């Protein structure tokens, strides 16, 4: 039993991608709302995006030299054991110095050494698994974790039923209420009222196939009365922007990155997106028709499994990456030409939403510490 007079000390570990980092920050924010005097320390991987994003959110972070084990033959695998041992030793030192009440792992190889060391010292650990197919690190650490917060039903195939809490994925607060934002969104993005809005999302870096599919169909989209709000991503922005300018199209709005996602969602009649865990969770809250084009370049093809969890509930449509170029517009037309389908997809998507995910995860952690 914790002494209630002393502030909580919580360590949160994981990262590598936004899909791990943003839920971690959302959990920290929700915990701090209830326990403002708490000390929270993040632990990530040196050189990864968490080392920038976590301090920007107002939290301290310490980096480990840990790196992932490559699935293919690679020279970098030779250094893996040395980096792992160094990360384990540093984790033990951090635990001794910080003396946390609990350690939370959000997945990614960065969470492995700290949670393993914490479990070895008998410190309570909790895992948050964002995907419908559990990551390797989380599967290895699950047996000694007190609780595992999951975003999808049916995760008993990876974790013991007794340890699972179905909480959903934490998402940004500004998308919880889109009421009354549509007019502001149209003004902000320079959209017109008499055209349907198709929101295209491929992640912050961009999705090659989605961008090529849009380029292939953009003239047909504009001709048939659509307007596109298109986040092309950092790697593809210049190429896409130049091709839009050369085409002379007036209703294809290409952006490198969209920060005002609440306005983008409010404007959209339909969304085309990859199926990363965070994107899927956000879109369930938005409750609009979605075409998922899962990335084939991810571990265990987990984006396809994320998408299928919604397709199986008639809450979304999935278009395979290999079929997207040349087929995107016909799929969009098929959905938006059917008002009954549009309505049912939105309703079924919203049924799967978990708007209190961060708060529920905090409640699970409180019960562990009670």
Cβ neighbors of 348 (< 8 A, separation 6 or more) are 313, 314, 315
Residues belonging to the binding site are 17-19, 131, 172, 204, 258, 277-282, 303
DSSP 277-339: HHHHHHHHHHT--EEE---SSSGGGHHHHHHHHHHTTTS-EE--GGG-TTTHHHHHHHHHT-H
Same domain for 165 and 259?
no
Cβ neighbors of 28 (< 8 A, separation 6 or more) are 10, 12, 40, 42, 57, 59
Calculate the average pLDDT of the chain: 93
Same domain for 291 and 317?
yes
- Domain count for the chain, please give it: 2
pLDDT tens, position by position, 150-163: 999 999 999 999 99
Same domain for 199 and 243?
yes
Q: Average pLDDT for residues 84-103, to the nearest whole number?
A: 96
Q: Average pLDDT for residues 50-74, to the nearest whole number?
A: 81
Give CA–CA dist 253/246, Å, rounded: 13
- Which is higher by pLDDT, 109 or 351? 351
Determine the structural domain holding residue 178 and report its residue range: 174-351
Same domain for 211 and 312?
yes
CATH of the domain at 339: 3.40.50.2000
Same domain for 121 and 211?
no
Full-model pTM: 0.89
Give CA–CA dist 89/101, Å, rounded: 19
pLDDT tens, position by position, 215-273: 999 999 999 999 999 999 989 999 999 999 999 999 999 999 999 999 999 999 999 99
Residue 67 in this model has a pLDDT that exceeds 80: no
Residues belonging to the binding site for UDP-N-acetyl-alpha-D-glucosamine are 17-19, 131, 172, 204, 258, 277-282, 303
């Amino acid at each position: 039993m914790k002494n209630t007079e002393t502030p909580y000390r919580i360590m949160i570990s994981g990262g590598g991608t936004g899909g791990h980092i943003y839920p971690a920050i959302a959990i920290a924010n929700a915990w701090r709302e209830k326990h403002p005097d708490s000390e929270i320390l993040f632990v990530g991987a040196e050189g990864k995006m968490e080392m920038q994003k976590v301090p920007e959110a107002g939290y301290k972070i310490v980096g480990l030299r840990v790196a992932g084990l490559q699935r293919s033959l690679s020279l970098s695998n030779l250094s893996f054991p040395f980096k792992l041992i160094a990360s384990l030793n540093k984790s033990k030192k951090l635990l001794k110095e910080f003396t946390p009440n609990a350690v939370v792992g959000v997945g990614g190889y960065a969470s492995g050494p700290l949670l393993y060391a914490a479990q070895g010292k008998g410190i309570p650990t909790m895992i948050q698994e964002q995907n419908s197919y559990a990551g390797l690190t989380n599967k290895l650490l699950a047996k000694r974790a007190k609780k595992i917060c999951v975003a999808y039903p049916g995760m008993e195939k990876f974790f013991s039923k007794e340890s699972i809490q179905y909480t959903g994925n934490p998402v940004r607060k500004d998308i919880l209420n889109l009421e009354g934002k549509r007019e502001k969104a149209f003004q902000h993005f320079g959209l017109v009222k008499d055209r349907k809005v198709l929101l295209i999302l491929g992640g912050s870096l961009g999705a090659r196939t989605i961008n090529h599919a849009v380029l292939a169909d953009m003239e047909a989209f504009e001709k048939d009365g659509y307007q596109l709000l298109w986040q092309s991503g950092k790697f593809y922005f210049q190429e896409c922007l130049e091709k839009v300018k050369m085409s002379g199209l007036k209703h294809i709005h290409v952006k490198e990155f969209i920060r005002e996602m609440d306005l983008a969602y409010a404007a959209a009649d339909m969304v085309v997106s990859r199926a990363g865990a965070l994107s899927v969770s956000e879109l369930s809250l938005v409750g609009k028709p979605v075409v998922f084009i899962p990335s084939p370049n991810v571990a265990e093809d987990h984006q396809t499994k994320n998408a299928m969890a919604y397709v199986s509930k008639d809450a979304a449509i999935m278009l395979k990456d290999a079929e997207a170029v040349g087929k995107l517009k016909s799929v969009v037309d098929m959905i938006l030409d059917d008002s009954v389908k549009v309505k049912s997809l939105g309703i079924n998507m919203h049924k799967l939403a978990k708007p209190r995910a961060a708060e529920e995860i905090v409640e699970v952690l409180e019960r562990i510490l009670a």
